[in-house]
Structure 1
Amino acid sequence: MNYLGHAFLSFGNSEILVGNMIGDHVKGRLALQHYPDGIRKGIELHRKIDEFTDNHPSVSRAKLIFREDYGLYAGAITDTVFDHFLANDPKYFASPDALLQFTRQTYTQIEEHSTHLPPDFAAYFPHMREYNWLLGYRSMKGVERSLQGLARRAKHMPASDKAYTAFVMGYYHLNQCYFELIDDVVKMAKAYTL
């Protein structure tokens, strides 16, 4: 799961949300001691989500679509396209407006804890909010932009055009893989947070 997935799997708890969103920017166990308990729990949840999804059979099958052209970046690409399926999942977001409201609430909660944002996340958070990256996952064009952004930020990832084409061509297979994952990861995250 990418940004939308991590936000969603925080279940409205603002400190867990912040930790979950910044999880990729906090390295090692020692760094955790600099955060309040709730944010630390969110960072740990982020790591558990990543570990759980990386080892889920449906994610392994989905990554195969991207592995030949993108190698180790297949996982990050899969995370991105799974956010598209989450954004369009009527079980969790009944309408585009429901997703929009969720994204606004998410940005507000992150802003309320801005003093705890790592510098690199803090640097691009205003751009994320202004262009509503979380809502962008809902559209095909938004996925294309997200993949382009991933390629810009990743040091050695090739251009994202083949990843987008593979996403379009493998859409139904990837959607099935998402559906095989989502209830399992929701159950795991709820057990950890509640």
Structure 2
Amino acid sequence: MNYLAHLHLASHCDSSLTGNLLGDFIKGPLPSGLEPSLDAGIWLHRRVDAFTDAHPEHRAAVGCFAPPWRRFGAILVDMLYDHWLSLHWARFSPAPLPLFLQQSYAALLADEARLPGGLPSPLTAMVRQNWLASYAELDGLTRALNGIGQRLRRPQPLGLALATLLPAQWHACEQGFLAFYPDLMRFTQQEWQARPHFPDIHRP
């Protein structure tokens, strides 16, 4: 999943928003050396991604992209899921999306001092430029995908892949997301309630 979904799921579970986004940047075993709440968020991020990648709806959506785009299918579908989450936000959250983003950005900035080196640069840019608000529009989604594509080892104009989906495929993938996301919310809540304990390794 991408940033917006991870923020929403973290909020849904009352988990650390910052920890859940750090899951894209902190690799290796846990505890990581960060605070326990951040480690728990990283753990939840990993559980969310594993569940998503194995889900039949996500796999079906990836399969809608023909070569050469299919090799980037996981990235494309994760971004599309943020797009559809934006469009259908009121189904999944009582708070309006602009207010949710404002509060989420404030929480990330408040945690910045707790992180060695501060927030990873992509997260800082996301906050300052309010990337997530643009995902509801296809132009914003296309720009975001092209930006991701430029950071690949071999740069690719990933935004072009969106135009390869037929209208019927687009509709099927959107309906698949609407079937999948409640499953993911239930899974995330269950996993969070059964989460492991992460000790504070900074304390004697």
Common fold: TM-score over 0.5: yes
Post-superposition, which runs of at least 4 consecutive aligned residues in structure 1 deviate over 6 A? none
- Cα distance change, pair 116–166 in 1 and its aligned pair in 2 (3 A): farther
Q: Identify the residue that residue 2 of structure 1 maps to in structure 2.
A: 2
Q: Is the 8 A contact 2:146 2:156 kept in 1?
A: no
TM-score, normalising length from structure 1?
0.88
Task: Using the TM superposition, give the Cα deviation of residue 161 of structure 1 relative to its aligned residue in structure 2, in angstroms.
Answer: 3.8
Q: Greater shift after overlay, 150-159 or 60-69?
A: 150-159
Task: Using the TM superposition, give the Cα deviation of residue 83 of structure 1 relative to its aligned residue in structure 2, in angstroms.
Answer: 0.4
Task: Using the TM superposition, give the Cα deviation of residue 72 of structure 1 relative to its aligned residue in structure 2, in angstroms.
Answer: 3.3
Which amino acid in 2 is paired with 1:10? A
Deviations 1:58-98 (A, max 9, x none): 0000001225222432101100000011111131256xx81
Q: Identify the residue that residue 79 of structure 2 maps to in structure 1.
A: 80
- For residues 65 and 55 of structure 1, the distance between their equivalents in structure 2, rounded to whole angstroms, comes to 16
Structure 1, gaps ≥5 residues long: none
Q: Percent identity?
A: 26
Task: Using the TM superposition, give the Cα deviation of residue 121 of structure 1 relative to its aligned residue in structure 2, in angstroms.
Answer: 5.1
Structure 2, gaps ≥5 residues long: 194-204
SS in 1 for 2:67: helix
RMSD: 2.3
Q: Is the 8 A contact 1:65 1:166 kept in 2?
A: no
Q: Is the 8 A contact 1:20 1:43 kept in 2?
A: yes
Q: Is the 8 A contact 2:20 2:42 kept in 1?
A: yes
Q: Larger C-alpha radius of gyration, 1 or 2?
A: 2
Which amino acid in 2 is paired with 1:171? W
Report the count of equivalent residues: 191
Alignment of 1:41-120 (within 5 A): 41-89=40-88, 90-93=90-93, 98-117=96-115
Q: Identify the residue that residue 189 of structure 2 maps to in structure 1.
A: 190
